[in-house]
Amino acid sequence: MRFQTGFILLTSAAMLAACTNPDGSHNHRTTGTILGTAAGVAIGAGPATGIGTAAGAALGNVVGSAAGALLDRQQKELNAELADTGATVVNTGSILVVTLPESVTFDSGSARLHQDYVDEIAFIARSLRDHPNSIVTVVGHTDNVGSTKYNQGLSERRAAAVANVLTESGVEATRMHSIGMGYHQPVASNDTPGGRAQNRRVEIIITPTV
């Protein structure tokens, strides 16, 4: 049984590598289907489930496909709403990551949102209300200038500020939590001004629950 499950997961990984559209973009619905099917097969193959691999595969296929389609649809809507705002939307096939750079959301060293950007976050809140089958994690990040304690606190306050606007705009608090990572998850080198600017950001991570 261990060999069977391992083979399924390895085969799925190989299939995922081929899940690209002709233009090079990723086919997230297909990715969701493959991941869901693999998970369903693995679960169905377990001795305690009693549902069998075929039924598990069918269940996982439906769930994975639905999640992939949901992410594709929501990504398209968010890209349209956030065009020219400085925000970016990345679809990994299992989550959406909306990145808000410090340069358009906060003054340097401040956790007070620019008033103009409150409206942009309200757009994101509307999308979250329209797509209620997800959980939301708001994560604050900083560069490495200053002490660990200072940056940790700043990242937490900035994440909380964004989460508060989402809640005030109608997103249920039970779906959401905020955390700060300080400077521990950089996306660029902290050795250059440009790299540090990229690291100062807030991410809104949307994870489907379907």
The whole-model pTM stands at 0.71
Which amino acid does the sequence have at 10? L
Distances (CA, A) of 142 to 16, 80, 103, 149, 164: 33, 27, 12, 11, 19
In terms of Cβ atoms closer than 10 Å to its own Cβ (0-12, 13-18, 19+), residue 22 is exposed
Distance CA 174, CA 165 (A): 14
pLDDT in tens, the chain (210 residues): 544 444 444 444 444 444 555 444 455 544 454 444 444 444 444 555 555 545 544 434 444 566 788 899 999 999 999 999 999 999 999 999 999 999 999 998 999 999 989 999 999 999 999 999 999 999 999 999 999 999 999 999 999 999 999 999 999 999 999 999 999 999 999 999 999 999 999 999 999 997
Q: Where is 135: in which H helix or E strand?
A: strand 134-141
